[in-house]
Chains A and B, each alone.
Chain A
C-alpha cells in the first residue's frame, strides 16, 4: 500500500528518507523526520512561543515595575500589591484559562492575561526588594550631595536594584516559557500546540521534539539574561573578584 502511495505521489511527497521507517514505528525521536518537518511544523510554533512569552514579560514587567516604584514610594501600597500578585500566582493555570475564556474569548488576549498574571509576583517582589536593599548610606550620600529624589532614584537606587530586578526577570522568563505551552489548551498557539496534538495522536517524535524545543528556549533565554546582567552590572563581579 505504501509502495502504491509512493508511486503515485512520488514527485510531490517530500523525501521521508530513513525517517520513514522510524516514524512508521513511532520511534521515540526520529531525527530525520524532525529535521524535515522543522520548518513547517515547529519553527512557526516556536516563533509564536517566543512572541507569547515576550509580550507577557514586557507587559508583566511594566505593570510590576510601576507597582514596585509606587510601593517603594508609598509603603502602605506594598501589602495590597503583594497580596494581589500572590493571589494570581495561586490560581491553577488551567483553571485561569478556563475562567477567562467566557470573558475574553479564545485567543491571544486570554493567553496573555493568564501569562502576565503569573509574572507579577516575582517581578514585583524582586524589583521592590532590590530598591529596598539599596544601602542607606548611598541614599544619604546622594541626598547630602544635592541629588533630587528623582536623580537619586534614577542614578543611584534603580541602578543598584538592577541585579535583583534581573534575577526576577530571569525566573519570570523561564517560568513563562514553560507555562506558555499550556496556552495550547485554549487554542493551538506556541510549542504547546504540537505537544497537545501529539498527546492526542500519540506521535512520540512530535511530543519529544516540541518539549525539547521549549526546554531549549528556556535555557537559551536564561543564558542570554545572565550574559546581559554581566554586561549591565560589572560592579557585581568586581566585588566577587575583590574578596
Chain B
C-alpha cells in the first residue's frame, strides 16, 4: 500500500485571515512551506489561530489574503468538495457517523468518488488492519460499540480511505486518555513511516508537538508566526522569549528526550563491575533520570545484541545541550 501512497508539498504564501471588519487578523501574513511527506505540527496559545490556519487549507475557513497551494495547485482553484475529498480530515471529536457501520464510515469518500462496492470493502478491511483493528471483528460494528481509542483509529482509517496526499488532523488525540493517547501517537508515527503522507497536525500540547512533528509551526496571539523549525532547533535555539516560555523551562530535558543514547558519541566502557546499564534505545532524558535516581555519574549503554557499546556520563549529557 505504501507504493500507491503519495505526498504533497504544502505552501502557505502570505496567508491572512480577517473576520469581518475586525482590525486584528486571526492569521497574520503567514508563510510556511511544508515539505512532502512531513508532519507539521501547528501549535500556539488559544487565539494563536492554529485551527484557523489548518482549516484554511481545506477551505472550511476562507482565506482573506494570500494563497495556499498543494503541490503547486491553489486550493482556491478547485471545487471545494473536490478539494476536500482529496484531503484526509481527522477531528478531535472524531465525528464518525453513528448510523453507519465502521466499514461504511471508512468508505465515505470512496463512495463519493464512485468506487465499486468490492473495492470499497477491500480498502476498508486493508485500512482496519493498518490501524490495528481486526476487520473480521470490527468492520460490521457501529461506532457506539467501540472504545474511544478504537473510534479514533477508525477516524484515521476513514481519513486515509481514498489515499489522500495530505491529511489534516485537528487535535486528533486530545480527548483520549493518556495511556491510549501514547499508544495512538506511537502507532501513528509507525504508520506514517509506512505511508509517508504530508500531515498538518494541530495540538495545544507541546510534548505532543515535539514527539509528533518533523517541524513545528508556533503561532503567537494574533496569528503571527513565532518560529517554524524542527523540534530540535526550537528547543535548542528558541527565536525569542515567547518561544522559550512556550516550550517551557525544561526545554533542555525535552531536547534530551528527542535523542537516544545509542545515537550519541560514547566514552569507552570503564573497567569494573556493578555499573548502571541501559539499552541503546533509551532516550538521553531517561538515561539522565536513571543516573540521577541511582546516584551514578555514568551508565553503560548496551546494544541490541547485548554487547556494551560505550559509556555515557552526566557531564557528557550536559555537553550535548
Using a CB–CB cutoff of 8 Å, the interface residues on chain A facing chain B are: 135-148, 151, 156, 159-160, 162, 233-235, 238-239, 241-243
Contact = CB atoms under 8 A, between A and B. Distances in A.
Interface residues of B, number: 28
Given A145-B89, A233-B99, A238 B145 contact: yes
Nearest to B98: A235
A146 B98 contact: no
Contacts, number: 82
Minimum-distance CB pairs A-B, first 10:
A141-B95, A146-B84, A137-B93, A146-B85, A137-B95, A144-B89, A239-B144, A238-B142, A146-B81, A235-B142
A235 B91 contact: no
B97 A148 contact: no
Interface string B84-113: 111001010111111110000000110010
Contacts of A234: 142
A239 B95 contact: no
A145 B141 CA distance: 21
Given A147-B81, A148-B81, A239-B142, A141 B99 contact: no
A84 to B, nearest CB: 31
Given A137-B93, A239-B142, A242-B145, A144 B84 contact: yes
8 contacts: A136-B93, A137-B93, A137-B95, A141-B89, A141-B96, A146-B112, A235-B144, A238-B144
Contacts of A141: 89, 91, 94-97
A146 B60 CA distance: 10
Nearest to A151: B112
A138 B155 CA distance: 11
A162 B108 CA distance: 20
B83 interface: yes
Give the residue among A138, A234, A243 with the most B Cβ atoms within 10 A. Answer: A138
Contacts of A162: 99
Given A235-B98, A239-B144, A147 B91 contact: no
Contact of B84 (A138, A145, A159, A241): A145
A148 to B, nearest CB: 5
A136 B91 CA distance: 11
> SS class of chain A's interface: helix, strand, loop or mixed?
helix
Contact of B98 (A135, A140, A142, A143): A135
Contact of A156 (B84, B97, B141): B97
Nearest to A144: B89
Nearest to A232: B99
B152 to A, nearest CB: 12
B131 to A, nearest CB: 17
Give the residue among A144, A233, A243 with the most B Cβ atoms within 10 A. Answer: A144
A142 B58 CA distance: 13
B91 A144 contact: yes
Nearest to B60: A144
Contacts of B97: 138, 141-142, 156, 160
Interface in B149-182: 158, 168
Contacts of A241: 145
Contacts of A238: 141-142, 144-145
Contact of A143 (B60, B96, B141, B158): B60
A13 B208 CA distance: 92
Contacts of B134: none
A162 B95 CA distance: 18
Contacts of B86: 146
Contact of A144 (B58, B100, B112): B58
Contact of A235 (B58, B82, B99): B99
A239 B81 CA distance: 31
B96 A242 contact: no
Give the residue among B81, B91, B98, B142 with the most A Cβ atoms within 10 A. Answer: B98
